[in-house]
């Protein structure tokens, strides 16, 4: 929980300065997701994160279109997810997680060239 508090503070600082620091999101994103996965105590999820991270961080490397806007949305979603976790309300956690996963999926799909999308 202390790690989550620290990450929440970092997300709030980044949200306030997103216009000039949006390119710092990738590292914060990785730390946030690793914390969530570590807390699951599920080795498969923890190990699988490396595969997911490779895909998304590779994507962020080459697709800079709307990066600031994308990162701003993700920071807000992380903050909502953190608030849900802190509430310990499983319904809120589920909703926040699903919203963030949907955004991530949409981001990935929009990065795939037209005609190659599933």
Q: What pTM value is reported for the model?
A: 0.84
User: Which of 33-42, 47-56, 109-118 has the least mean pLDDT?
Assistant: 109-118
pLDDT band, residue 5 (cuts 50/70/90): very high
Residue 117 resides in a domain: no
Could you tell me the CA-to-CA distances from 47 to 53, 75, 78 in Å, in that order? Answer: 10, 24, 21
Count of domains observed in the chain: 1
Structure tokens at 107: 């981001």
Residue 83 resides in a domain: yes
Residue 28 resides in a domain: yes
Residue 71 resides in a domain: yes
Structure tokens at 19: 């216009």
70-84 b/e with 16+ CB inside 10 Å = b? bbbebbebbbbbbeb
Residue 24 resides in a domain: yes
Residue 116 resides in a domain: no
Q: What would the pLDDT profile of 49-59 be if each residue is shown by its tens digit?
A: 777 767 666 65
Containing structural domain, residue 55: 2-111
Residue 11 resides in a domain: yes
Residue 90 resides in a domain: yes
């Amino acid at each position: 929980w202390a790690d989550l508090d620290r990450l929440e503070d970092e997300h709030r600082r980044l949200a306030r300065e997103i216009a000039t620091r949006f390119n710092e999101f990738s590292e914060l994103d990785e730390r946030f997701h690793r914390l969530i996965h570590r807390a699951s105590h599920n080795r498969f999820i923890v190990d699988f994160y490396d595969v997911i991270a490779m895909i998304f961080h590779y994507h962020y490397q080459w697709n800079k279109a709307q990066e600031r806007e994308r990162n701003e949305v993700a920071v807000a979603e992380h903050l909502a997810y953190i608030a849900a976790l802190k509430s310990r309300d499983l319904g809120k956690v589920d909703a926040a997680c699903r919203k963030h996963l949907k955004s991530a999926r949409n981001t990935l799909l929009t990065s795939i060239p037209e005609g190659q999308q599933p």
